[in-house]
């Protein structure tokens, strides 16, 4: 989410935009998002992720696959450590 927020701030490119400029940027963002969803619906592959995010996703999937209801604290510690490594 941080990456999206940073990218959106860069697209707005003003610290305190007017409501008009901000609404135009939000509408553009929504249009991009809807296009991405439509591409996936028709069978196109989603855009490839940067290597660091792909690695993070695979780590989180591996942690989630080994989730044990009896050790919630261990599970959450693993997730937190994984996120902390890439912050």
Which of these, 29, 34, 84, 28, lies nearest to 59 by C-alpha position?
84
Q: Is residue 67 part of a domain?
A: yes
pTM flag (> 0.85): no
Q: Please check whether residues 7 and 37 belong to one and the same domain.
A: yes
The answer to whether 40 and 46 are in contact (CB under 8 A) is yes
Tens of pLDDT, residue by residue over 41-75, are 999 887 787 888 888 888 888 888 877 667 788 87
Mean pLDDT of 30-40: 90
Q: Please check whether residues 27 and 56 belong to one and the same domain.
A: no
The answer to whether 56 and 49 are in contact (CB under 8 A) is no
Q: Is residue 69 part of a domain?
A: yes
pLDDT at 87: 44
Q: Given pLDDT bands bounded at 50, 70 and 90, which one contains residue 34?
A: very high
Tens of pLDDT, residue by residue over 5-31, are 777 777 777 778 888 888 888 898 899
Q: What is the span of the domain harbouring residue 11?
A: 2-41
How many structural domains does the chain have?
Answer: 2
């Amino acid at each position: 989410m941080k990456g999206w927020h940073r990218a959106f701030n860069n697209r707005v490119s003003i610290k305190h935009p007017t409501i008009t400029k901000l609404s135009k940027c939000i509408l553009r963002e929504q249009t991009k998002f809807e296009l991405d969803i439509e591409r996936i619906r028709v069978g196109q592959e989603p855009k490839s992720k940067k290597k660091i995010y792909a690695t993070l996703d695979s780590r989180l999937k591996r942690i989630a696959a080994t989730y044990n209801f009896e050790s919630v604290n261990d599970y959450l510690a693993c997730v937190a450590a994984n996120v902390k490594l890439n912050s």
